[in-house]
Amino acid sequence: GIQVEQSPPDLILQEGANSTLRCNFSDSVNNLQWFHQNPWGQLINLFYIPSGTKQNGRLSATTVATERYSLLYISSSQTTDSGVYFCAVKNYGGATNKLIFGTGTLLAVQP
Amino acid sequence: KAGVTQTPRYLIKTRGQQVTLSCSPISGHRSVSWYQQTPGQGLQFLFEYFSETQRNKGNFPGRFSGRQFSNSRSEMNVSTLELGDSALYLCASSFGTNGELFFGEGSRLTVL
């Protein structure tokens, strides 16, 4: 099945710094989502981005489907950005909502 | 509009017992899928329902089952609980069978 790899696994930043999280996937996808898992466990939707570039405030994401990767940019990081960031994809083809998750990037933003 | 609602949020069971978790999707969403999150295995797909039909199932033993009702609400059941079933169980809803998924806050199960 499709493999999803995220890097880096861990990241420590000072407040105000910028960061880039990467998601590589091994096959064609027709859905890619970025999530932030809050301390209580809920997955918060950041981007639905099977291709192209989107921006939402200090966050932006780019997916290059032909090269099988996606990037999540966090600018001017804040302590509230801390948590785990997941990339999840759906294999191309078939009507299914089965998401394959990466192992996540644990981000710690220090004041 | 209200998000995905999962109940109960926390529960503690002992080995051998069974548990039922509930998920109410976003109004108008007809697809519900379930995921298990553990520290060792990460987030794994359990099953998916659309219009009361199971469309897809992950690689889990038969002790894990689910169903969906006519109002799109879904339940999952785990019988004969094992220690390894301790996990965060997340439910997601989507409007159709190939769109953006929205997750609930999860049900955290501890098996003693």
Of B35, B44, B98, the CB nearest to A31: B98
Q: Strands, DSSP E only, in chain A?
A: 4-7, 10-14, 19-25, 29-37, 43-48, 52-56, 59-64, 69-74, 83-91, 100-101, 105-110
Of the pLDDT bands very low, low, confident and very high (cuts 50, 70, 90), residue A14 is very high
Question: What mean pLDDT, rounded, does chain A reach?
Answer: 94
**Residue B107: other Cβ atoms inside 10 A:** 24
Are the CB atoms for B103 and B91 separated by under 8 Å? yes
Over residues A91-100, the mean pLDDT reads: 78
Test A41 with B105 for CB contact under 8 angstroms.
yes
- Can you read off the two tokens belonging to residue A27? 């096959």
Q: What sign does the CA torsion over B60, B65, B70, B74 have?
A: negative
Strand A105-110 and strand A10-14: the pairing is parallel
Beta bridge partners of B66: B76
Of the pLDDT bands very low, low, confident and very high (cuts 50, 70, 90), residue B61 is very high
Q: How far apart are CA A65 and CA A78, in angstroms?
A: 29
Of B43, B94, B105, the CB nearest to A97: B94
Q: Which residues of A touch B68 (CB under 8 A)?
A: none
Of A35, A41, A43, the CB nearest to B108: A41
Over residues B17-37, the mean pLDDT reads: 97
Test B48 with A86 for CB contact under 8 angstroms.
no
